[in-house]
Protein backbone atom coordinates (compact mmCIF):
# COMPACT_ATOMS: atom_id res chain seq x y z
CA UNK A 1 0.00 0.00 0.00
CA UNK A 2 1.29 3.42 -0.89
CA UNK A 3 1.20 6.01 1.82
CA UNK A 4 1.78 9.70 2.00
CA UNK A 5 3.59 10.51 5.23
CA UNK A 6 1.82 7.56 6.81
CA UNK A 7 -1.62 8.24 5.35
CA UNK A 8 -2.87 5.64 2.86
CA UNK A 9 -2.70 7.25 -0.55
CA UNK A 10 -4.31 6.51 -3.89
CA UNK A 11 -5.30 8.30 -7.04
CA UNK A 12 -8.64 8.65 -8.77
CA UNK A 13 -7.49 11.06 -11.43
CA UNK A 14 -9.86 13.15 -13.47
CA UNK A 15 -10.03 11.74 -17.00
CA UNK A 16 -7.79 13.44 -19.52
CA UNK A 17 -10.86 14.36 -21.56
CA UNK A 18 -12.06 16.52 -18.67
CA UNK A 19 -8.77 18.26 -18.04
CA UNK A 20 -9.79 21.18 -20.20
CA UNK A 21 -12.67 21.80 -17.78
CA UNK A 22 -11.23 20.78 -14.43
CA UNK A 23 -7.55 21.68 -14.64
CA UNK A 24 -6.80 23.52 -17.87
CA UNK A 25 -3.67 25.41 -16.87
CA UNK A 26 -0.14 24.34 -16.04
CA UNK A 27 0.82 25.32 -12.51
CA UNK A 28 3.81 25.34 -10.23
CA UNK A 29 2.20 25.12 -6.78
CA UNK A 30 3.22 27.97 -4.50
CA UNK A 31 0.74 27.61 -1.63
CA UNK A 32 -1.88 25.25 -0.23
CA UNK A 33 -5.59 26.10 0.09
CA UNK A 34 -7.60 24.25 2.74
CA UNK A 35 -11.30 23.50 2.34
CA UNK A 36 -13.95 21.54 4.16
CA UNK A 37 -16.69 19.76 2.26
CA UNK A 38 -19.68 20.79 4.42
CA UNK A 39 -20.96 17.25 4.37
CA UNK A 40 -20.37 13.88 5.99
CA UNK A 41 -19.35 11.78 3.02
CA UNK A 42 -16.07 9.93 2.38
CA UNK A 43 -13.10 11.17 0.38
CA UNK A 44 -13.90 8.53 -2.19
CA UNK A 45 -17.46 9.73 -2.72
CA UNK A 46 -16.37 13.32 -2.71
CA UNK A 47 -13.79 12.65 -5.45
CA UNK A 48 -16.17 10.44 -7.43
CA UNK A 49 -18.64 13.26 -7.51
CA UNK A 50 -16.07 15.85 -8.53
CA UNK A 51 -14.47 13.85 -11.33
CA UNK A 52 -17.86 12.56 -12.47
CA UNK A 53 -19.64 15.83 -13.02
CA UNK A 54 -19.15 18.38 -15.74
CA UNK A 55 -18.87 21.48 -13.63
CA UNK A 56 -15.48 23.11 -13.58
CA UNK A 57 -15.29 23.07 -9.77
CA UNK A 58 -12.31 20.96 -8.82
CA UNK A 59 -9.57 20.42 -6.24
CA UNK A 60 -6.44 18.34 -6.03
CA UNK A 61 -6.98 16.00 -3.11
CA UNK A 62 -9.61 14.91 -0.62
CA UNK A 63 -8.82 13.50 2.82
CA UNK A 64 -10.96 11.55 5.27
CA UNK A 65 -10.26 9.48 8.36
CA UNK A 66 -8.86 6.58 6.35
CA UNK A 67 -7.05 7.94 3.31
CA UNK A 68 -6.01 10.71 0.97
CA UNK A 69 -7.12 10.58 -2.66
CA UNK A 70 -5.50 12.64 -5.38
CA UNK A 71 -7.78 13.71 -8.23
CA UNK A 72 -5.83 16.33 -10.19
CA UNK A 73 -2.15 16.44 -11.17
CA UNK A 74 -0.28 18.86 -8.94
CA UNK A 75 1.23 20.56 -11.95
CA UNK A 76 -2.18 21.75 -13.16
CA UNK A 77 -4.54 24.24 -11.54
CA UNK A 78 -7.88 23.49 -9.96
CA UNK A 79 -10.96 25.71 -9.59
CA UNK A 80 -11.56 25.83 -5.86
CA UNK A 81 -10.71 29.28 -4.55
CA UNK A 82 -13.53 31.35 -5.98
CA UNK A 83 -11.14 34.13 -6.88
CA UNK A 84 -11.63 34.06 -10.63
CA UNK A 85 -10.02 32.75 -13.75
CA UNK A 86 -6.69 34.35 -12.98
CA UNK A 87 -7.05 34.43 -9.20
CA UNK A 88 -3.97 33.64 -7.19
CA UNK A 89 -5.71 30.90 -5.21
CA UNK A 90 -7.04 29.16 -8.28
CA UNK A 91 -3.88 29.42 -10.31
CA UNK A 92 -1.12 28.86 -7.79
CA UNK A 93 -2.36 26.69 -4.96
CA UNK A 94 -3.05 23.05 -4.29
CA UNK A 95 -6.67 22.61 -3.22
CA UNK A 96 -7.18 20.21 -0.31
CA UNK A 97 -10.66 19.13 0.80
CA UNK A 98 -11.07 17.81 4.34
CA UNK A 99 -14.12 15.56 4.61
CA UNK A 100 -16.53 14.51 7.41
CA UNK A 101 -17.29 17.89 8.91
CA UNK A 102 -21.04 18.62 8.77
CA UNK A 103 -23.75 16.41 10.17
CA UNK A 104 -26.60 16.83 7.73
CA UNK A 105 -29.00 14.73 9.78
CA UNK A 106 -28.71 16.98 12.76
CA UNK A 107 -27.85 19.96 10.58
CA UNK A 108 -24.89 20.95 12.66
CA UNK A 109 -21.14 21.07 12.78
CA UNK A 110 -21.29 20.14 16.45
CA UNK A 111 -20.49 16.53 15.77
CA UNK A 112 -21.18 13.81 18.28
CA UNK A 113 -19.42 10.47 18.52
CA UNK A 114 -18.53 8.56 16.47
CA UNK A 115 -18.68 11.35 13.90
CA UNK A 116 -16.57 13.60 16.04
CA UNK A 117 -13.66 11.14 16.11
CA UNK A 118 -14.03 10.60 12.38
CA UNK A 119 -13.60 14.30 11.75
CA UNK A 120 -10.68 14.62 14.15
CA UNK A 121 -8.92 11.76 12.43
CA UNK A 122 -9.54 13.30 9.01
CA UNK A 123 -8.05 16.52 10.30
CA UNK A 124 -5.01 14.66 11.68
CA UNK A 125 -4.50 13.02 8.31
CA UNK A 126 -4.78 16.43 6.67
CA UNK A 127 -1.97 17.73 8.88
CA UNK A 128 0.31 14.91 7.71
CA UNK A 129 -0.67 15.23 4.07
CA UNK A 130 -0.38 19.01 3.88
CA UNK A 131 3.03 18.97 5.60
CA UNK A 132 4.16 16.39 3.06
CA UNK A 133 2.75 18.42 0.15
CA UNK A 134 4.78 21.38 1.39
CA UNK A 135 7.96 19.31 1.48
CA UNK A 136 7.26 17.82 -1.94
CA UNK A 137 6.65 21.14 -3.62
CA UNK A 138 9.27 23.23 -1.87
CA UNK A 139 6.63 25.23 -0.06
CA UNK A 140 7.69 26.43 3.39
CA UNK A 141 4.88 25.63 5.82
CA UNK A 142 3.83 28.91 7.40
CA UNK A 143 0.77 31.11 7.73
CA UNK A 144 1.36 32.87 4.45
CA UNK A 145 1.65 29.63 2.47
CA UNK A 146 -1.13 27.59 4.09
CA UNK A 147 -4.34 29.43 3.26
CA UNK A 148 -8.01 28.98 3.94
CA UNK A 149 -10.48 29.17 1.08
CA UNK A 150 -11.82 32.12 3.09
CA UNK A 151 -8.58 34.03 2.52
CA UNK A 152 -9.17 34.16 -1.24
CA UNK A 153 -12.81 35.16 -1.53
CA UNK A 154 -14.27 35.36 2.00
CA UNK A 155 -16.27 32.21 1.55
CA UNK A 156 -17.07 30.55 4.88
CA UNK A 157 -14.67 27.66 4.27
CA UNK A 158 -13.23 25.62 5.97
CA UNK A 159 -16.44 26.26 7.86
CA UNK A 160 -16.08 23.96 10.85
CA UNK A 161 -12.58 25.19 11.58
CA UNK A 162 -13.78 28.76 11.33
CA UNK A 163 -16.86 28.14 13.53
CA UNK A 164 -14.92 26.23 16.17
CA UNK A 165 -11.82 28.45 16.00
CA UNK A 166 -9.65 25.49 15.12
CA UNK A 167 -7.61 27.11 12.40
CA UNK A 168 -4.62 28.35 14.37
CA UNK A 169 -4.11 25.05 16.12
CA UNK A 170 -4.45 23.22 12.81
CA UNK A 171 -1.91 25.50 11.17
CA UNK A 172 0.51 25.05 14.06
CA UNK A 173 0.19 21.29 13.80
CA UNK A 174 1.05 21.46 10.10
CA UNK A 175 4.09 23.64 10.75
CA UNK A 176 5.28 21.30 13.52
CA UNK A 177 4.81 18.28 11.28
CA UNK A 178 6.61 20.03 8.42
CA UNK A 179 9.53 20.87 10.72
CA UNK A 180 9.65 17.28 11.85
CA UNK A 181 9.76 16.08 8.23
CA UNK A 182 12.39 18.56 7.19
CA UNK A 183 14.48 17.83 10.27
CA UNK A 184 14.12 14.14 9.68
CA UNK A 185 15.18 14.56 6.09
CA UNK A 186 18.33 16.35 7.14
CA UNK A 187 19.47 13.85 9.73
CA UNK A 188 18.38 10.39 8.66
CA UNK A 189 20.43 8.62 6.08
CA UNK A 190 19.02 6.42 3.37
CA UNK A 191 22.32 4.66 2.79
CA UNK A 192 25.08 3.20 4.88
CA UNK A 193 27.62 5.70 6.11
CA UNK A 194 30.02 4.26 3.59
CA UNK A 195 30.39 1.24 1.39
CA UNK A 196 32.25 -0.80 3.95
CA UNK A 197 29.81 -0.30 6.77
CA UNK A 198 27.36 -2.81 5.40
CA UNK A 199 28.18 -5.39 8.01
CA UNK A 200 28.84 -3.23 10.99
CA UNK A 201 25.19 -2.31 11.12
CA UNK A 202 25.40 0.46 13.60
CA UNK A 203 22.45 2.06 11.85
CA UNK A 204 19.93 1.35 14.53
CA UNK A 205 16.64 1.81 12.81
CA UNK A 206 16.40 -0.03 9.57
CA UNK A 207 17.06 -3.64 8.88
CA UNK A 208 16.33 -3.46 5.16
CA UNK A 209 19.17 -1.03 4.65
CA UNK A 210 21.79 -3.61 5.50
CA UNK A 211 21.32 -5.47 2.23
CA UNK A 212 22.40 -3.60 -0.85
CA UNK A 213 22.32 -5.23 -4.25
CA UNK A 214 24.83 -4.08 -6.76
CA UNK A 215 23.61 -3.44 -10.30
CA UNK A 216 25.59 -2.51 -13.38
CA UNK A 217 25.16 -0.80 -16.72
CA UNK A 218 23.16 2.24 -17.70
CA UNK A 219 19.62 3.18 -16.88
CA UNK A 220 17.49 2.88 -19.98
CA UNK A 221 14.10 2.55 -18.33
CA UNK A 222 14.41 -0.83 -16.63
CA UNK A 223 12.65 -0.96 -13.26
CA UNK A 224 14.88 -0.04 -10.32
CA UNK A 225 14.16 -0.94 -6.72
CA UNK A 226 14.95 0.30 -3.26
CA UNK A 227 18.04 -1.48 -1.94
CA UNK A 228 19.96 -1.41 -5.22
CA UNK A 229 23.10 0.56 -5.86
CA UNK A 230 25.27 1.21 -8.88
CA UNK A 231 25.48 3.30 -12.05
CA UNK A 232 21.84 2.86 -13.16
CA UNK A 233 20.69 4.27 -9.81
CA UNK A 234 23.00 7.22 -10.21
CA UNK A 235 21.71 7.81 -13.75
CA UNK A 236 18.17 7.84 -12.39
CA UNK A 237 19.02 10.15 -9.47
CA UNK A 238 20.87 12.51 -11.78
CA UNK A 239 17.94 12.72 -14.18
CA UNK A 240 15.54 13.43 -11.32
CA UNK A 241 17.84 16.13 -9.98
CA UNK A 242 18.25 17.71 -13.41
CA UNK A 243 14.54 17.79 -14.11
CA UNK A 244 12.73 21.12 -14.07
CA UNK A 245 11.58 21.37 -11.32
CA UNK A 246 14.25 19.20 -9.70
CA UNK A 247 13.37 16.15 -7.59
CA UNK A 248 16.44 15.75 -5.43
CA UNK A 249 16.87 12.63 -3.33
CA UNK A 250 18.05 14.91 -0.51
CA UNK A 251 17.99 18.60 -1.14
CA UNK A 252 20.91 20.43 0.42
CA UNK A 253 22.92 17.28 1.10
CA UNK A 254 26.21 16.66 -0.65
CA UNK A 255 25.44 16.51 -4.37
CA UNK A 256 21.78 16.87 -3.36
CA UNK A 257 21.76 13.22 -2.39
CA UNK A 258 22.81 11.86 -5.78
CA UNK A 259 24.96 9.05 -4.41
CA UNK A 260 24.18 5.93 -6.43
CA UNK A 261 22.26 4.27 -3.62
CA UNK A 262 18.52 3.68 -3.98
CA UNK A 263 17.39 4.31 -0.41
CA UNK A 264 14.30 5.74 1.19
CA UNK A 265 14.96 9.30 0.15
CA UNK A 266 15.48 8.35 -3.47
CA UNK A 267 12.24 6.39 -3.33
CA UNK A 268 10.59 9.44 -1.86
CA UNK A 269 11.91 11.55 -4.76
CA UNK A 270 10.54 8.99 -7.25
CA UNK A 271 7.14 9.06 -5.55
CA UNK A 272 7.09 12.84 -5.62
CA UNK A 273 8.00 12.79 -9.30
CA UNK A 274 5.30 10.23 -10.12
CA UNK A 275 2.73 12.17 -8.14
CA UNK A 276 3.68 15.48 -9.68
CA UNK A 277 3.31 14.24 -13.23
CA UNK A 278 0.22 12.12 -12.59
CA UNK A 279 2.01 8.82 -13.25
CA UNK A 280 1.39 5.55 -11.46
CA UNK A 281 2.69 6.11 -7.93
CA UNK A 282 4.67 3.10 -6.73
CA UNK A 283 8.16 4.40 -5.98
CA UNK A 284 9.59 2.16 -8.69
CA UNK A 285 11.20 4.10 -11.52
CA UNK A 286 10.70 2.20 -14.76
CA UNK A 287 9.64 2.88 -18.32
CA UNK A 288 7.06 5.49 -17.41
CA UNK A 289 9.32 7.58 -15.19
CA UNK A 290 12.21 7.23 -17.61
CA UNK A 291 10.02 8.31 -20.53
CA UNK A 292 8.77 11.38 -18.69
CA UNK A 293 12.29 12.39 -17.63
CA UNK A 294 13.50 11.99 -21.20
CA UNK A 295 10.58 13.96 -22.54
CA UNK A 296 11.28 16.80 -20.10
CA UNK A 297 14.94 16.69 -20.99
CA UNK A 298 14.30 16.92 -24.71
CA UNK A 299 12.05 19.88 -24.00
CA UNK A 300 14.93 21.61 -22.34
CA UNK A 301 17.42 20.86 -25.05
CA UNK A 302 15.18 21.43 -28.03
CA UNK A 303 16.44 24.94 -28.48
CA UNK A 304 19.84 23.56 -29.20
CA UNK A 305 18.92 22.63 -32.74
CA UNK A 306 18.33 18.92 -32.22
CA UNK A 307 21.43 17.61 -33.89
CA UNK A 308 19.79 14.26 -34.51
CA UNK A 309 17.46 15.65 -37.12
CA UNK A 310 20.05 15.97 -39.83
CA UNK A 311 17.53 16.08 -42.64
CA UNK A 312 15.66 19.25 -41.80
CA UNK A 313 17.51 22.29 -40.55
CA UNK A 314 15.98 24.02 -37.57
CA UNK A 315 14.63 27.39 -38.60
CA UNK A 316 15.09 30.39 -36.40
CA UNK A 317 14.19 34.01 -36.75
CA UNK A 318 17.24 36.00 -37.87
CA UNK A 319 19.13 32.93 -39.04
CA UNK A 320 20.40 32.75 -42.63
CA UNK A 321 19.14 30.33 -45.22
CA UNK A 322 19.89 29.77 -48.89
CA UNK A 323 17.01 29.59 -51.34
CA UNK A 324 17.44 26.43 -53.35
CA UNK A 325 18.12 26.71 -57.11
CA UNK A 326 15.53 24.05 -57.68
CA UNK A 327 12.78 26.05 -55.94
CA UNK A 328 9.93 26.79 -58.34
CA UNK A 329 7.19 28.79 -56.67
CA UNK A 330 6.79 31.09 -53.71
CA UNK A 331 4.50 29.77 -50.99
CA UNK A 332 2.04 32.39 -52.23
CA UNK A 333 1.91 30.80 -55.69
CA UNK A 334 3.95 33.06 -57.96
CA UNK A 335 6.97 31.77 -59.86
CA UNK A 336 10.34 32.52 -58.31
CA UNK A 337 12.62 34.34 -60.76
CA UNK A 338 16.00 32.63 -61.17
CA UNK A 339 17.80 35.80 -60.16
CA UNK A 340 16.74 35.37 -56.52
CA UNK A 341 17.54 31.64 -56.29
CA UNK A 342 20.77 30.28 -54.84
CA UNK A 343 21.26 33.29 -52.62
CA UNK A 344 21.34 33.73 -48.88
CA UNK A 345 18.52 35.44 -46.97
CA UNK A 346 17.50 36.17 -43.40
CA UNK A 347 14.45 34.48 -41.89
CA UNK A 348 12.02 37.07 -40.60
CA UNK A 349 9.07 34.90 -39.67
CA UNK A 350 8.26 31.21 -39.48
CA UNK A 351 5.08 29.21 -40.06
CA UNK A 352 4.43 25.51 -40.19
CA UNK A 353 5.55 24.88 -43.75
CA UNK A 354 7.05 28.21 -44.79
CA UNK A 355 9.40 31.01 -43.85
CA UNK A 356 9.36 34.72 -44.65
CA UNK A 357 12.63 35.93 -46.17
CA UNK A 358 13.46 39.43 -45.09
CA UNK A 359 15.45 40.76 -48.04
CA UNK A 360 12.88 39.79 -50.65
CA UNK A 361 9.83 40.08 -48.36
CA UNK A 362 8.52 36.77 -49.65
CA UNK A 363 7.17 33.56 -48.18
CA UNK A 364 8.90 30.42 -49.42
CA UNK A 365 8.42 26.79 -48.52
CA UNK A 366 10.77 25.37 -45.91
CA UNK A 367 11.56 22.53 -48.30
CA UNK A 368 13.00 25.06 -50.74
CA UNK A 369 15.54 26.58 -48.38
CA UNK A 370 18.69 25.18 -46.89
CA UNK A 371 19.69 26.18 -43.39
CA UNK A 372 23.23 27.42 -43.13
CA UNK A 373 23.68 25.56 -39.91
CA UNK A 374 22.77 22.21 -41.43
CA UNK A 375 25.25 19.75 -42.81
CA UNK A 376 25.03 21.45 -46.19
CA UNK A 377 28.45 22.79 -47.03
CA UNK A 378 27.41 25.09 -49.81
CA UNK A 379 26.20 27.79 -47.45
CA UNK A 380 28.08 30.96 -48.05
CA UNK A 381 27.28 33.03 -45.01
CA UNK A 382 30.39 34.09 -43.24
CA UNK A 383 29.14 34.49 -39.71
CA UNK A 384 29.59 31.47 -37.51
CA UNK A 385 26.13 30.74 -36.35
CA UNK A 386 26.51 27.24 -35.12
CA UNK A 387 23.13 26.20 -33.83
CA UNK A 388 24.45 23.98 -31.10
CA UNK A 389 24.36 26.61 -28.42
CA UNK A 390 21.78 29.00 -29.78
CA UNK A 391 24.75 31.26 -29.97
CA UNK A 392 23.68 33.64 -32.67
CA UNK A 393 22.80 37.04 -31.41
CA UNK A 394 19.42 38.65 -31.19
CA UNK A 395 18.81 42.35 -31.57
CA UNK A 396 20.65 43.00 -28.35
CA UNK A 397 23.23 40.31 -28.03
CA UNK A 398 22.82 37.18 -26.00
CA UNK A 399 21.25 36.20 -22.73
CA UNK A 400 23.00 33.69 -20.52
CA UNK A 401 20.98 31.60 -18.05
CA UNK A 402 22.19 32.01 -14.47
CA UNK A 403 20.98 31.60 -10.85
CA UNK A 404 19.01 28.42 -11.49
CA UNK A 405 19.61 24.89 -10.31
CA UNK A 406 19.57 23.31 -13.70
CA UNK A 407 17.36 25.15 -16.16
CA UNK A 408 15.12 28.17 -16.54
CA UNK A 409 11.57 28.06 -17.84
CA UNK A 410 10.85 29.96 -21.04
CA UNK A 411 7.36 31.47 -20.84
CA UNK A 412 4.93 32.61 -23.51
CA UNK A 413 4.35 35.97 -21.83
CA UNK A 414 6.06 38.14 -19.22
CA UNK A 415 3.86 37.12 -16.30
CA UNK A 416 5.12 34.19 -14.30
CA UNK A 417 1.83 33.65 -12.51
CA UNK A 418 -0.18 33.30 -15.68
CA UNK A 419 2.25 32.33 -18.42
CA UNK A 420 2.52 28.96 -20.09
CA UNK A 421 5.86 27.23 -20.18
CA UNK A 422 7.04 26.85 -23.79
CA UNK A 423 10.20 25.03 -22.84
CA UNK A 424 13.26 25.18 -20.66
CA UNK A 425 16.83 26.22 -21.23
CA UNK A 426 19.77 24.90 -19.30
CA UNK A 427 21.88 26.88 -16.89
CA UNK A 428 24.86 28.40 -18.72
CA UNK A 429 23.23 28.17 -22.16
CA UNK A 430 22.54 31.32 -24.16
CA UNK A 431 19.64 32.60 -26.25
CA UNK A 432 19.41 35.53 -28.67
CA UNK A 433 18.27 38.52 -26.65
CA UNK A 434 15.65 40.95 -27.86
CA UNK A 435 15.36 43.17 -24.84
CA UNK A 436 13.86 43.40 -21.39
CA UNK A 437 10.28 44.05 -20.40
CA UNK A 438 8.51 44.99 -17.18
CA UNK A 439 5.74 42.39 -17.36
CA UNK A 440 3.87 41.31 -14.26
CA UNK A 441 4.68 39.53 -11.01
CA UNK A 442 8.45 39.77 -11.20
CA UNK A 443 10.37 42.40 -9.28
CA UNK A 444 13.16 42.26 -11.80
CA UNK A 445 11.02 42.13 -14.92
CA UNK A 446 11.65 39.71 -17.77
CA UNK A 447 14.10 39.13 -20.56
CA UNK A 448 12.60 38.88 -24.02
CA UNK A 449 14.42 36.25 -26.05
CA UNK A 450 14.09 34.57 -29.41
CA UNK A 451 12.94 31.05 -28.84
CA UNK A 452 11.62 28.28 -31.08
CA UNK A 453 11.05 30.70 -33.91
CA UNK A 454 9.12 33.18 -31.82
CA UNK A 455 9.49 35.20 -28.66
CA UNK A 456 9.89 33.85 -25.16
CA UNK A 457 10.27 35.38 -21.70
CA UNK A 458 12.62 34.52 -18.89
CA UNK A 459 12.33 35.83 -15.33
CA UNK A 460 14.78 38.70 -14.76
CA UNK A 461 16.75 36.95 -12.02
CA UNK A 462 17.57 34.02 -14.23
CA UNK A 463 19.40 35.80 -17.05
CA UNK A 464 22.51 37.81 -17.59
CA UNK A 465 23.43 39.73 -20.70
CA UNK A 466 26.49 38.17 -22.22
ZN1 LIG B 1 -13.74 25.76 0.03
Banded pLDDT at 314 (limits 50, 70, 90): low
**89, pLDDT greater than 70:** yes
Greater confidence, 80 or 202? Answer: 80
pLDDT band at 44 (very low <50, low <70, confident <90, very high): very high
| Greater model confidence, 274 or 75 | 75
pLDDT over threshold 60, residue 122: yes
Helix (H, G, I), strand (E, B) or coil at 276: helix
Instruction: Report residue 74's pLDDT band, with 50, 70 and 90 as the boundaries.
Output: very high
Ligand 1 centroid to Cα of residue 93, in Å, is 12
Task: Find the 40 Cα to ligand 1 centroid distance in Å.
Answer: 15
Confidence of residue 18 (pLDDT cuts 50, 70, 90): very high
> 464 vs 224, which has greater pLDDT?
224
Report pLDDT for 393.
58
CA of 35 relative to ligand 1 center, distance in Å: 4
CA of 47 to the centre of ligand 1 (A): 14
Q: What is the Å distance from ligand 1's center to 33 Cα?
A: 8
pLDDT value for 384: 38
% of the chain exceeding 70 in pLDDT:
85
Ligand 1 centroid to residue 391 C-alpha, Å: 49
User: 147: Cβ–Cβ under 8 A, 6 or more apart, which residues?
Assistant: 31, 32, 33, 34, 89, 93
pLDDT at 435: 81
Q: Tell whether the model's pLDDT for residue 235 goes beyond 90.
A: yes
Residue 394: predicted pLDDT: 64
pLDDT at 86: 93
| CATH placement of domain 3-187 | 3.40.80.10
Give the fold, CATH level 3, of 222-302: Muramoyl-pentapeptide Carboxypeptidase; domain 1 (1.10.101)
Compute CA distances 288 → 19, 21, 292, whole Å: 20, 26, 6
Q: Does 3-187 match 390-465 in CATH topology? A: no
271 C-alpha to ligand 1 centroid (Å): 27
Has domain 390-465 been given CATH number 3.20.20.70? no
Tell me, in angstroms, the distance from the centre of ligand 1 to residue 155's CA: 7
Q: Rounded to an integer, what distance in angstroms lies between the CA atom of residue 249 and that of residue 19?
A: 30
* 279 CA from centroid of ligand 1 (Å): 27
Helices 167-187 and 115-136, packing angle to 10 deg: 50
Every domain of the chain and the residues it spans? 3-187, 222-302, 320-388, 390-465
Residue 212, CB half-sphere, CA atoms under 13 Å: how many?
A: 24
Residues with CB under 5 A from ligand 1 (ion): 35, 149, 157
Mean pLDDT, rounded, of the chain: 83
**Alpha-carbon gap, residue 284 to 266, rounded angstroms:** 10
Amino acid sequence: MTTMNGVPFRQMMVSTSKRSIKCPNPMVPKKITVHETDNMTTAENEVKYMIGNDSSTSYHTAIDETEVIQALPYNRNGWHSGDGKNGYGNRNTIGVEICRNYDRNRQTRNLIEPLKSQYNKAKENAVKVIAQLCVDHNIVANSSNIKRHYDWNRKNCPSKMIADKLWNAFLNDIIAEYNRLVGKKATSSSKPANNTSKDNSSSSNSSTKSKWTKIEGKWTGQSLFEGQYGPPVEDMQTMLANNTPPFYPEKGAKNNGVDNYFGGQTKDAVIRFQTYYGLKVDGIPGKEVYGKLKENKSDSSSESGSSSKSSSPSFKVNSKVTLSKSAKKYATGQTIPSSVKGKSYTIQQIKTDRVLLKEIVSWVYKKDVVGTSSSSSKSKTSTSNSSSNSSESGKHGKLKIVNVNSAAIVMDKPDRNNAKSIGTIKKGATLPLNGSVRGKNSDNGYWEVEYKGGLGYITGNFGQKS
